A and B are shown apart, each in its own frame.
Chain A
Amino acid sequence: MFKIELDGTASIHDQICSEISRLISVGILVPDEKLPAVRETAKALGVNPNTVQKAYAALEKNGLIYSVPAKGSYVAPGGTAAEAVRKEAAETLRAAMEKAAQTGVSRGTAEEIMNEIWGKKG
């Protein structure tokens, strides 16, 4: 199930959204897989079901999941979900790089990190 911290910093809504996108991005949740029902998630986390419902609605709006009336929510098929997650990850990367550049991390260091992660092929 999802990992949520109830320490009052990030909102529960945002945590559910980012946790589900994370699970999709690493392939734990696969296309057309059924997500836990709102009821189940709310009970497991001990949180308000309205919040879970809103989080699912936000994920659906961003194209990560789709819902079937009276059946539940599913991971979007055909790489749509993965694409949406990649887009989000790219934005996070950009923010991190901007911050790195501001704090004086050199291009060389950045390239070293990139080489470490992607290998030298790309």
Chain B
Amino acid sequence: MIEIKDCVMDYGDKIAVDHVSLTIPEGCSYGLLGSNAAGKSTLLKLMNGIYRPTGGSVLIDGKNVYCEPSVKERLFFVDDETVQYSDMTLRDMKRYFGRFYPKFDSALFDKLAKTVGLPEGKKTHTFSKGMKRQAVVICGAACKADYLFIDEAFDGLDQTMRTIVKNILIDEMLDNHLTVVFSSHNLSEIDEFCDRVGLLHAGKVLFDRELDSVKSDLVKVRAAFDRDITADDLPELEVLHIGRQGSLTEIIARGGAEKAGAAVEKLAPKICDFMKLSLKEIFVYEMEGVGYDGSKLDEE
């Protein structure tokens, strides 16, 4: 279990992580979402004990990740930056990580390197961005860590490599209770593979919930009434948005389809349709609900 307790990361000129508290259960596949500069990478580095928080602490299975080196052999961080390995060949990386990770699987490393066809004897600074990324992902898979952190999720990996990585994650989740934390600004990736999501904005966690409950809570109803309907007509619901498109009224509310259906039916709509919300719409409305403009979330 990862426990982030009231964490602050103040770089002096900027507070990147602002009093964040978050718990990620063991065996979870967690998606950390947010626009650029939301604080995702900093939070990942704090969870890996790379940075010392200027306030608060991060515990992994009860141990402070910054202070206790013994925790580190149980974590692997697939950093979006790979400059730290520029002077290493793939062979060097295998030796290097093999020394630190007790469960390092050399056979898996070789198999993966062969599958993607990376040269073993060339220094990684000669690699393309995608190749560098593949090299680090291969190391991450072979280290057999209990906690895997992947910055920018499956960025830079082609479809074949994505499938291979996902299959490894699936095996590790089922066999060894692997906990995996992705950061991403790509909602569909998170949607496919995560069971819990956290949304980060300007260093703060706007919300942190089970993906299924997020999806079943918010509803979109499109209905036609013979008069103007406002949120006051629906006191049973927490209405996030109400708007008109021609003769149709669109209502976005919290509380699940059943409750929303009953409330809207009371107003005797001429027609009433339930629309499904995409994950993107959900985030936009959740963010608006706490006073942010969520419409730019998915943009680079």
Which A residues have a C-beta under 8 Å from some C-beta of B?
6-13, 38-39, 42-43, 46-51, 54, 102-103
Contacts and interface: CB of A to CB of B under 8 A. Distances in A.
Interface string B4-30: 000000000000000000000001110
Contact of A46 (B192, B211, B215): B192
B280 interface: yes
Given A8-B187, A8-B188, A48 B279 contact: no
A35 to B, nearest CB: 15
Interface of B: 27-29, 162-163, 166-167, 170-171, 173-174, 187-188, 191-195, 211-212, 215-216, 271, 276-280
A36 to B, nearest CB: 13
25 contacts: A6-B191, A6-B192, A8-B187, A8-B278, A8-B279, A9-B276, A9-B277, A11-B211, A13-B212, A42-B170, A43-B166, A46-B163, A46-B166, A46-B192, A47-B192, A47-B193, A48-B173, A48-B195, A49-B170, A49-B173, A49-B174, A50-B28, A50-B173, A51-B212, A103-B271
Contacts of A103: 271
A43 B170 contact: yes
Given A7-B278, A43-B166, 13 more contacts: A6-B188, A6-B191, A6-B192, A8-B187, A11-B212, A39-B170, A39-B174, A46-B193, A49-B170, A49-B174, A50-B27, A51-B212, A102-B271
A33 to B, nearest CB: 22
A11 B216 contact: yes
A37 to B, nearest CB: 9
Given A6-B191, A48-B193, A102-B271, A39 B171 contact: yes
A54 B29 CA distance: 14
Given A6-B191, A47-B193, A48-B193, A54 B276 contact: no
Nearest to B280: A8
Contact of A9 (B174, B192, B216, B278): B278
A116 B170 CA distance: 47
Contacts of A11: 211-212, 215-216
B55 to A, nearest CB: 32
A42 B27 CA distance: 15
Contacts of A42: 170, 174
A75 B271 CA distance: 39
Nearest to A4: B192
A47 B31 CA distance: 13
A48 B171 contact: no
B37 to A, nearest CB: 25
Contacts of A9: 276-278
A56 to B, nearest CB: 13
Contacts of A51: 195, 212
B185 to A, nearest CB: 15
Contact of B192 (A12, A43, A49): A12
Contacts of B28: 50
A13 B216 CA distance: 11
Contacts of A6: 188, 191-192
B214 to A, nearest CB: 9
A50 B215 CA distance: 16
